[in-house]
Amino acid sequence: MTNRVFTQRDIMQLPQRERANFINSLSGFKSANLVGTQSKEGLNNLCLVSSVFHVGAHPPLVGMLMRPHTVRRDTLQNIKDTGVYTLNHVHVSFADKAHQCSANYPGDTSEFEVVGLTPKMSSVVKAPFVAESIISMALEVEQINVIELNQTELVIGRVVEVVLADNILLNDGYVDIEKAGSVAISCLDSYHKTARLDRYSYAKPEQALSSIWLNDDPKS
């Protein structure tokens, strides 16, 4: 196998779209989530993001990077105005509809209506879930930081409500996102199903790993 080497100069000389695809691919598989918000005027909004990540479990915090607020960003503005939002796993059955939510619709248009997904209001915060999602969570904003290097905004939210199918929650608290049908994203436009290799025991020095994916746990 022959390797190719890209220097920083090589990367910066790539055409803009090619460079975006290249760098976005390098970070590997990412989660696919739809961010549900509601404007101050009561209009529901839906936005696709692939930048959600775990921050901490006590308290339960989730981070999300948003593109720079140098142009109109309805989702980010709604989050700043209301302080709340939802995250909803993209399911294999509506990955195409989720991707369509990345289109630049006018500010007075609800992506729910355009792509054919169903809003369902959280019982805790004033923001809509995606009814078709198997795993959803409602969050309250804890902190928003601007990354000075490129003006992206880091939103950290506290999880205040979780809604998920009962049969994907195992006894040890593990949420089986593969059984839930949650998809992953690579680059900006490639969607993937997942295939579990195993679950391993807690790693300790000089102790052999063992499989903890029990025979009585669902494997498909």
**pLDDT recorded at residue 70:** 67
User: C-alpha angle 209/212/218, rounded to 5°?
Assistant: 150
Give this prediction's pTM: 0.93
CB 51 within 8 A of CB 30: yes
- Give whole-number Cα distances, 64 to 31, 35, 54, 145, 155, in Å: 11, 10, 9, 11, 5
Domain ranges of the chain: 15-192
Dump pLDDT digits (tens) for 100-125: 999 999 988 999 999 999 999 999 99
Mean pLDDT of 89-102: 97
Q: Domain 15-192, what architecture?
A: Roll (2.30)
| pLDDT for the residue numbered 216 | 44
Query: What confidence tens digit (pLDDT) does each residue in 177-219 have?
Result: 999 999 999 998 999 999 999 999 999 999 999 998 864 454 4
